[in-house]
């Protein structure tokens, strides 16, 4: 698993790790049942404190993206905890903020749609 951590970003490192695992799953780079690096191993690889990786893994576990077994390690497991209703409420809240940012910066609705289409097309498609 290759992560790109931006140490100069305002986004906390544990959030960057969490987000990249979620994106890796969506893009098909991480499959159900795939083993993730150990907390210590990933921390060493990217040069961060083990507690930072542990916090990211804890969030991923709480949200249902991974399962952690003390003896075997962490594995991708898509048993998402929040309901679609809860997720949609959260999504609406987040999108409203980002749409306001776009509006204030003069980004058009068409540009936003094309950004969304480009990002969404990079995600793994279900077999029909």
Give the tokens for residue 44: 């060493």
Q: What is the mean pLDDT of each run of 10 residues along the chain (128 residues)?
A: 92 98 94 96 96 98 93 91 82 96 97 95 72
Residue 127: its pLDDT value, please?
52
Residue 83: its pLDDT value, please?
73
Count, in order, helices (H) and strands (E) of the chain: 5, 2
Residue 31: its pLDDT value, please?
94
Residue 126: its pLDDT value, please?
59
Residue 87: its pLDDT value, please?
86
**DSSP element (H, E) containing 68:** strand 66-69
Residue 84: its pLDDT value, please?
81
Q: Which of 32, 28, 19 is nearest to 59 (CA)?
A: 19
Q: Which of 71, 72, 67 is nearest to 57 (CA)?
A: 67
pTM above 0.85, yes or no: no
């Amino acid at each position: 698993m290759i992560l790109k951590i931006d140490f100069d970003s305002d986004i906390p490192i544990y959030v960057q790790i969490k987000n990249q695992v979620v994106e890796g799953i969506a893009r098909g780079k991480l499959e159900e049942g795939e083993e993730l690096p150990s907390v210590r191993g990933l921390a060493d690889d990217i040069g961060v404190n083990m507690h930072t990786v542990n916090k990211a893994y804890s969030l991923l576990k709480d949200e249902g993206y991974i399962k952690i077994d003390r003896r075997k390690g962490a594995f991708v497991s898509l048993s998402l905890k929040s309901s679609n209703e809860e997720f949609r409420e959260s999504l609406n809240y987040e999108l409203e903020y980002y749409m306001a940012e776009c509006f204030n910066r003069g980004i058009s609705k068409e540009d936003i749609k094309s950004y969304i289409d480009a990002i969404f097309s990079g995600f793994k498609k279900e077999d029909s």
